[in-house]
Chain A
Amino acid sequence: MKYLAKYIKPYLIGLLALLFFVWGQSYVNLILPDYTAKIIDQGIILKNINIIWSEGTKMLLLTILGGLCTILIGFIAAKVSAGFAKRLRKAVFDKIERFSLNEFNIFSSSSLITRATNDVQQIQNVLSMMLRMSLLAPFMGIGAIIKVYQLAPSLSWIILTAICVLALMITILFLIAIPKFTIIQKMVDKLGLQIREMLTGIRVIRAYNNDQKQQLKFDKTNTELMNLNILINRLISMMQPAMTLIMGLSAVAVIWAGAYLVASGHLQIGSILALTQYVSQAIMAFLMISIIFIIIPRATVSVRRINEILSIIPEINDPAEPKHLTEKIHGLLEFKKVDFSYKGSEQAVLSDISFIAYPGQTTAIIGGTGSGKTTLLNLIPRLYDVTGGAITIDGIDIRDLPQHELREYIGYVPQKASLFSGTIKSNVAYGRPSASLTEITEAINTAQAAEFINDLADGLDSAIAQAGNNVSGGQKQRLAIARALVKKPPIFLFDDSFSALDFKTDAALRQALQNNLKTSTIIIVAQRISTIMQADNIIVLDNGKIVGQGKHQDLLTSSAVYREIAESQLSATELKKK
C-alpha cells in the first residue's frame, strides 16, 4: 500500500471534507423518520395542524441540506478518484517506459499492458465507488442500530437477528459460489481458446478432416459451462427473494412486538413507523457493506499487481558523471571479455566474448538458435548490461555514456520487425523526427522499400495499422531497416533482419547497404550463410562462446561448426566457389 498512499496524499483535505459530508448525509437520512414520528404522535394523534406544518418545513430544509451533501460527495469522489487514477497511471507508465529489458521480461508485455490499463481502471472504479457509496454504509448501518436502541431497546434483537441471518446467508452463498466463479472464468477462457484454435488452425483441421472432432471438443466445454452457469445462477438468484423475505419478516416483527410496547405505554405509535424504516435502512446498509467485501478483494489483486511494478528499482541508470564522445565519433566498437547471464539463471548466455568491429567494415555473427546472437546485439544499446567485461565505443565504456547519447549512435533493426500505427512516413521518421523528406526517401530507396511504397495509392502517407499488421513480413523488415538508416548513426545493428526477404531483395539490399554505409560500423546477425559470406569478419557463436572468427574461406577450414552450417545450406559447387 505504501506506493499507492503517495498518490492519494494530495487529496487528504478533499477526503476529510468528503467524510464530513457523508456524515451530514447519513445524519439527515437518519433524522427524517423522527420527524415523521413526531408528525404522527403530536400532530395527527393530538390533532395539532401547526406541528404538522412546522415539522414538515424542518424536514424540507433537512432534505435540501442532505441533497447538497450528496452532490458534494459525488463531486469530490469523482475528482479524487479520477485524479488519483491519472497520477497512478502516469507513474506506472513512466516506470515501465524506463524499464530495461531485464525488468521488462520479469513480466510479459501483455501482463504489463493489463496492469497499466485494466488494473488502474479497476482501482479507479473501486475507489470511486467506495468514496461515493461505501463510506455511507457504515455510518447508516451503525446509526440505524443506535436509533433503534434509543427508541426501543427491547426491539434491538429484531434488527440484530435480521442482520445475522443475512450475514450467514451471504457467507454461505459466497463460500459456495466464489470457487465456482473461478472455474467459470477458466471455462470461458478455454472456450475462447478453442474457438481461436478452430480459426487459426482451420487449414490444418480441414486438411486432416477433423472438423467433427473439434466440434465435439467445443461442445463438451460448452455443455460443462452451461451446467455450471445454471447452477451458479440458481444459487445467486436466491439472494433477491431471501432479502425481500428478511425485510418483510422484520417489519412484521417490529410492528408485532411494537404493539405490546405501545400497549404498555413504552412506545408511541409514530415511533413504530420510524422503527420499521430504521430496520430497513440498517439491512440495506449491511447489504452494501457485504458488497464492499466482495469488491475489495478484487481491487486488492490489482493493487498488488501495480505495487509489483512500482516497487521495482531500475538497474540500468545513467552514470553520475557521464562521459561524452567527441563530435567526430568513429564508431570503433570493442567487446572486451564480455560475460552475460540473465538474472536468476545459473548458466551464462555469453561468456568471454572479445572482438573488435571496425568502422567501414561488416562484422557478422552466426550460430544456431540459443547461441546468444540476439543477446549479444542487445548489449550494445544497453537493453541489457553486461555482467562481466566491458563494451567500448572509441575506447569509452558504454556504461559511462548517458543512455540517450549512446542510443543516438546506434541504428538498430530488430529480429521481429514491428511498426507503429501511423503512416509509412511517420514510421521511417521515428528514427529521427527531424529527418527531411529527401532523407526519408533516401533511406527508403536504400532499404529497397521504394518499389512497394510507390505501388500504394497513398505512397509515403499510406496508413500502417498497429504492429504493422497490414504489410507483409518482408515489407515490415524493409521499413524497419529504413527507420534505422534515416538516423544515420555511426553503428548499425542488424538482427537477422533479412530473413523475411527473398534472395533477390536480400542481395539488392546488401548491395545498397554496402554502397551507402561506407564509413559505418555494421554488425549483422544472420542464419543464412549467403547473407554474410562476404563479411569482413565472421564471428561463429556456439553456446555463448566464440568458436571461430575470420573470413568465410578461412572459417570453412578452421571452424567445424561453421562448416557444418555451410554444408547444410550451400551446394557443393557453391562451397567451392569463391
Chain B
Amino acid sequence: MAKIVNRPFRGGSPRTLMKGKTEKAKNFKKTFKIFIKYLKPYRLKLILVLLFALAATAFTIASPKILGQMTDVIVRGLLNHNKIDFVQITKIGLGLICLYAASALFSYLQSWIMSKISQKITYSFRHNIAAKISRLPLSYFDHNEKGDIISRVTNDVETISQNLNQGLVQAITAAATVIGILIMMLIISWQMTLIALGILPLSFIFIKLIVKHSQHHYDTQQSSLGKINGHIEEMFSNHAIVKAFNGEERSINHFDDINADLYNSGWKSQFLSGLMMPLMHFISNLGYVAVAVVSGWLALMGKVSIGGIQAFIQYMNQFTQPITQTANIASVFQSTAAAAERIFEFLEEEEEKPETNNTPKIKNVRGRVEFNKINFGYFPDRPIIKDFTAQIKPKSRVAIVGPTGAGKTTIVNLLMRFYDIDSGEILIDGTNIEKMKRSDVRSLFGMVLQDTWLFNDTIAENIAFGKSGATREEIIEAAQEAQIDHLIRTMPNGYDTIISDSIDSISVGEKQLLTIARAILADAPMLILDEATSSVDTRTEILIQTAMEKLTKNRTSFVIAHRLSTIKNADLILVMQNGNIVEQGQHQELLDKKGFYYSLYNSQF
C-alpha cells in the first residue's frame, strides 16, 4: 500500500510512568451529554449515593463541635470547684460514638453503591468498544494504529473508572465539607474565622507560584523521560546491530546527554512539586499559631470557650484537604472528559454499510468467479485497479504474481469483501457479492495467509476456529490431512498446548500448517492461499506444499504465488504491478507477450 506514511510515533508512553499534564477535551459539552446518557440508568442510585455522601459529611462536620462541648463541660466543672458533671459527659460521649458510627456507615454505603455503578459503566465502555471493532470496515484498521485503539480500551477506560469511583463523590463531599466547616467556624467565632480564611489567599498564592515554576520543569522532565525511554527501547531492540557497527559509544554518549537533562529537570520539578504539601502544612501551622493566640485572647474576654477553641482547631485541620480536593475537581473533570471523548470518537467512527435482510445465498457452489470492469482504490483519489475484467472457471487455479509491494493482497481484500469495490461487479456463480451478506461471501472461502494468525488458546481451539462446534475427531482429522498431527502430538500437552508469543517451539512453517488445518476443517468451496516465501525450512515447505495441494483439489483457488512450479501449473496468472493487474493469461502465453511477466520471470536467473 502507501509507501511512506508518516505515522505519529508513540514511544514508550511516559503517560503510564507519571501523571501527565491534564488533557483537555475538544468538545466538552458534547462529550458531557453523551456521558450523561451512560449515567442515566443509574440515576436513582446516584441520588442515593449523593444523599449518603451528604449525610456522612454532615455527621463528620458536626462531631468536632460536640467534642468541644464535652471539653466545655470539663472546664465548667473545673471552674466550679472540680465538680465535673460526669453524667453529662457520658451522655455527650455516647451520642458522639453513635454519630461517628453513623457517619462511617453512610460513607461506606455510599462507596458500596458507587463501586458497582462505576464498574458497570466501565464494563459497558469496554463492551461497546469491542462490539464496535467488529462493525468497523477493514480500512479503518489499515489506516489507524492498533496501539491507539488498545490504549482507549485500557488507559482511557481505566481513567474514567478511577475518576468515577472516587473523583465524582470526592468532589461533591469536598464542596459540602468546605461549606459545612465554614458555617461551623462562623458559629464558633467570626473573628477566628477571619484569621483562618486570611491564611487561604496566602496558600493560593504559594500554590500558584509553585505550579507556575514547576510546570515548566515538569514538562521538560516528561519530554526527557520520553526521549530516554525511546532511546533505550531503540538501542535494546537492535542490540546486535549496535554491536556489529560499533555503535555502543555513540549510544552511551547520547544516553548521557539525555540522562543529564532528565536529572536537571527531574530534581527541580520534584523539589518544587514536593514543596506543595509541606508549604501547605507550614501555612496551616501559621494559621494554627495565629488562631491559638487570638482565641486565647478571645477566651480571656469570654467570647469563646475552650471547647470552642478545640473544635475550631480541628476544623482548621480538616479545612485544607477538601480545599485542595476542590482545586483538583476541574482537572478530574477534564481528564475524564478527555478520556471519554477519545472513547466516544471511536464509537462514532463510520461503520460498514448495513446489510439488507433480503440477500441472495448461493447453494451448491460451483466456484465460478467473474470480475466485471472492476475499479478500486484504497483512497478515493488514488485508484489502483482500473477496469479489471476476468473470468475464472469453476475448480481452476489462479496464481497472483508480482514484485513485493505490488498489491497482491488487494485481490484478497476484494474477494472477501474486506473492502468494497468502487465500481463494476464481482460475481460468484452469477451472484453479485455486493448484494450478498458479508458473512455469506466469506463463508465461501477458506483462507491461509502468510502472516499466520493464531490466537492465544489451545491448538485444538485454533484449528476449530474455522468451524464452531467441531468435534475432537474432526480436528484431529484436519490436522492429519495438514500433515501436522504428528508434530502436535510431540508437544507437551498435545492438542491442548496453548499457543502464546513466548512459545517459540512452533516455527513459522508449522504455524502455517496449523492454519491449513484450520482451512481444511472449515471446508469452504473456494480457497485463498498465500504461499510461504523464505523463512520456512525445506522439509516443512514440502509438507506445506503437499497439504496445499490436497486442499486446492476440486476447489477454485486463488494463490499468491512465489514458487515457479505453482505459477506454471496455474490455469490463470494475474500479474500485478503498482497495485494494478497489468497482465493475465497462462505461463507460456504471458512469456510470449514479452511484457512485464517476461522480464519478471527472466530476472530470476
**A–B complex contacts, Cβ < 8 Å, 5 sampled:** A44-B306, A199-B149, A222-B123, A263-B77, A527-B534
Q: Check B28 for interface membership: any CB of A closer than 8 A.
A: no
Q: Check A499 for interface membership: any CB of B closer than 8 A.
A: yes
User: Among residues 183 to 239 in chain A, which have CB atoms less than 8 Å away from a CB atom of chain B?
Assistant: 188, 191-193, 195-215, 218-219, 222-223, 225-226, 229-230, 233-234, 237-238
Known: A191-B153, A210-B468. 4 other contacts (CB 8 A): A45-B78, A255-B93, A259-B86, A501-B404
A71 with B263: CB separation less than 8 A: no
User: Among residues 460 to 489 in chain B, which have CB atoms less than 8 Å away from a CB atom of chain A?
Assistant: 465-466, 468
Q: What class of interface size applies to chain A in its complex with B?
A: 35 or more
Count of chain B residues with Cβ under 8 Å from any Cβ of A? 161
Asked whether A109 and B74 contact (CB < 8 A) given A251-B67, A502-B404, the answer is no
B292 with A245: CB separation less than 8 A: no
Q: How far is the CB of A380 from chain B (nearest CB, A)?
A: 9
Separation of A223 and B123 alpha carbons in the complex (Å): 7
A207 — which chain B residues lie within 8 A by C-beta?
A: 416, 442, 445, 447
User: Among residues 381 to 428 in chain B, which have CB atoms less than 8 Å away from a CB atom of chain A?
Assistant: 402-405, 416, 418
A85 with B306: CB separation less than 8 A: no
Q: Check A332 for interface membership: any CB of B closer than 8 A.
A: no
A410 — which chain B residues lie within 8 A by C-beta?
A: 244
A255 with B74: CB separation less than 8 A: yes
Q: Which residue of A lies closest to B225 (CB)?
A: A121
A43 with B300: CB separation less than 8 A: yes
A82 in complex: contacting residue of B93, B235, B243, B263, CB < 8 Å: B263
Q: Of A110-118, A295-303, A343-351, A549-557, which binds chain B?
A: A110-118
Q: Taking chain B's interface residues, is the majority helix, strand, or loop, or is none over half, making it mixed?
A: helix
Q: Check A472 for interface membership: any CB of B closer than 8 A.
A: yes
Asked whether A116 and B236 contact (CB < 8 A) given A244-B60, A252-B67, A368-B538, the answer is yes
User: Among residues 236 to 256 in chain B, which have CB atoms less than 8 Å away from a CB atom of chain A?
Assistant: 236-248, 250-252, 255-256
Binary B-proximity of A469-484 (CB < 8 A = 1, otherwise 0): 1111111000000010
Q: Which residue of A lies closest to B267 (CB)?
A: A82
B599 in complex: contacting residue of A265, A504, A506, A564, CB < 8 Å: A504
Q: Which residue of A lies closest to B447 (CB)?
A: A207
Binary B-proximity of A243-284 (CB < 8 A = 1, otherwise 0): 011001101100110111011010001001100110000000
Q: Check A147 for interface membership: any CB of B closer than 8 A.
A: no
A504 with B403: CB separation less than 8 A: yes
Separation of A263 and B259 alpha carbons in the complex (Å): 65
Separation of A500 and B535 alpha carbons in the complex (Å): 10
Q: Check A143 for interface membership: any CB of B closer than 8 A.
A: no
B86 with A568: CB separation less than 8 A: no
Q: Check A433 for interface membership: any CB of B closer than 8 A.
A: yes
Q: How far is the CB of A563 from chain B (nearest CB, A)?
A: 11
User: Among residues 83 to 117 in chain B, which have CB atoms less than 8 Å away from a CB atom of chain A?
Assistant: 84, 86, 89-90, 93, 96-97, 99-101, 103-105, 107-108, 111-112, 115-116
B515 — which chain A residues lie within 8 A by C-beta?
A: 204
Q: How far is the CB of A368 from chain B (nearest CB, A)?
A: 3
B3 with A452: CB separation less than 8 A: yes
User: Among residues 370 to 394 in chain A, which have CB atoms less than 8 Å away from a CB atom of chain B?
Assistant: 370-371, 378, 381, 383
- For the complex of A and B, 5 pairs with smallest distance between CB atoms: A237-B111, A368-B537, A56-B293, A70-B278, A82-B267
Q: Check A53 for interface membership: any CB of B closer than 8 A.
A: yes
B300 in complex: contacting residue of A49, A203, A421, A430, CB < 8 Å: A49
User: Among residues 113 to 144 in chain A, which have CB atoms less than 8 Å away from a CB atom of chain B?
Assistant: 113, 116-118, 121, 128, 132
B100 with A269: CB separation less than 8 A: no
Binary B-proximity of A15-40 (CB < 8 A = 1, otherwise 0): 00000000000000000100110011
B278 in complex: contacting residue of A67, A237, A471, CB < 8 Å: A67
A226 in complex: contacting residue of B123, B238, B403, B604, CB < 8 Å: B123
- Indicate the member of A381, A462, A466 with the most B CB atoms within 10 Å: A466
B237 with A109: CB separation less than 8 A: yes
Q: How far is the CB of A495 from chain B (nearest CB, A)?
A: 10
- Indicate the member of A73, A96, A527 with the most B CB atoms within 10 Å: A527
Binary A-proximity of B260-278 (CB < 8 A = 1, otherwise 0): 1011001110110011001
A52 with B239: CB separation less than 8 A: no
A570 — which chain B residues lie within 8 A by C-beta?
A: 564
Q: How far is the CB of B421 from chain A (nearest CB, A)?
A: 17
Q: How far is the CB of B441 from chain A (nearest CB, A)?
A: 10
A128 with B418: CB separation less than 8 A: no
Q: How far is the CB of A507 from chain B (nearest CB, A)?
A: 5
A470 in complex: contacting residue of B4, B86, B233, CB < 8 Å: B4
B525 — which chain A residues lie within 8 A by C-beta?
A: none
A455 — which chain B residues lie within 8 A by C-beta?
A: 3
Q: Check A63 for interface membership: any CB of B closer than 8 A.
A: yes
Q: Which residue of A lies closest to B130 (CB)?
A: A218
Q: How far is the CB of B403 from chain A (nearest CB, A)?
A: 4
Q: Check B202 for interface membership: any CB of A closer than 8 A.
A: no
Separation of A409 and B542 alpha carbons in the complex (Å): 39
A471 with B3: CB separation less than 8 A: yes
Q: Which residue of B lies closest to A268 (CB)?
A: B78
Separation of A33 and B123 alpha carbons in the complex (Å): 50
Asked whether A466 and B234 contact (CB < 8 A) given A78-B271, A226-B123, A414-B241, the answer is yes
Q: How far is the CB of A103 from chain B (nearest CB, A)?
A: 10
A431 with B403: CB separation less than 8 A: no
B600 — which chain A residues lie within 8 A by C-beta?
A: 502-504
Separation of A540 and B401 alpha carbons in the complex (Å): 30
Q: How far is the CB of A102 from chain B (nearest CB, A)?
A: 11
A430 with B247: CB separation less than 8 A: yes
Asked whether A192 and B538 contact (CB < 8 A) given A60-B289, A78-B270, the answer is no
